[in-house]
Amino acid sequence: DDGDSGGATPSASLPPGIPGDNGSVGDEAGDRKAVQDEEIQTTQSRNDDGASSEDKNDNGTPPSSQTPPAPPPPPPLRELVLDDREPHMVKYDVSRRERTKLDTHTDKSEWTFLVSLSQGCGRDYEGGGTYFEALDATVHLQEGLALLFPGRLRHRGQKIGG
What does the pLDDT look like over 80-113, one tens digit per residue?
A: 777 676 677 888 877 777 788 899 999 988 889 8
Q: How far is CA 137 from CA 115, 119, 120, 121, 154, in A?
A: 18, 20, 17, 16, 12
Collect all residues with Cβ–Cβ distance below 8 Å to 77 and sequence separation of at least 6. Answer: none
What band does 138 get if pLDDT is binned at 50, 70 and 90? very high
Q: How many CA atoms lie within 13 A of 162 on its CB side?
A: 8
Task: Please state, in angstroms and rounded to a whole number, the distance separating the CA atoms of residues 109 and 150.
Answer: 8
What band does 11 get if pLDDT is binned at 50, 70 and 90? very low
